[in-house]
Amino acid sequence: MLINQGKERPEPRRPHGTFHLLMHIGHLLEERCRAGLAEYGFHHGQARVLMALDGGDRGEGGIIQARLAAGMDIATPTLSVMLKKLAACGLVRRTADADDERVHRISLTADGRKALKKVRMVWDAAEKSIVGSFDQADAERLHQILLGIRNALGGKTPEL
């Protein structure tokens, strides 16, 4: 109970509890990423694609576009639009597969690798602002709780 000039008031009602808090945190993170990435000319969805393309064992040919979409849990048409924009900026390369021209392979260009470094700087700063005030044990516990929430909502670790 809050006391105001000697009178008791009930605690303020939490609107939608945990759900509201998570939605608000998601919005704040999105805004932070948007602001950090704006100077580089791309948005957080495109940044996610660049990060996903940074797999070390993709080989020279890159990853098949359909596999990238499935692994990131992104609709193929949505990914296609993002890839067209990234390709127009010279950050990714889309090439037809040698065995099947209907299949496209996606890989980072040299400029894409430079952009990826910028994405990492923005994401690392956001990560530090989140876990920076936690000790190691609490940071790990938070990570495990967030994984549990993601899994309960049907999400999964990207499989690329």
Map out the domains of the chain as residue ranges.
41-128
pTM: 0.78
Per residue, the 3-state secondary structure of the chain, as one string, reads CEEECCEEECCCCCCCHHHHHHHHHHHHHHHHHHHHHHCCCCCHHHHHHHHHCCCCCCCCCCEEHHHHHHHHCCCHHHHHHHHHHHHHCCCEEEEECCCCCCCEEEEECHHHHHHHHHHHHHHHHHHHHHHCCCCHHHHHHHHHHHHHHHHHCCCCCCCC
Q: What is the pLDDT along the chain (160 residues), one digit of tens a residue?
A: 455 555 666 666 666 788 899 999 999 999 999 999 998 888 889 999 999 998 744 556 789 999 999 988 899 999 999 999 999 999 999 998 888 888 889 999 999 999 999 999 999 999 999 999 899 999 999 999 999 999 999 988 877 7
The CATH T-level fold of domain 41-128 is Arc Repressor Mutant, subunit A (1.10.10)
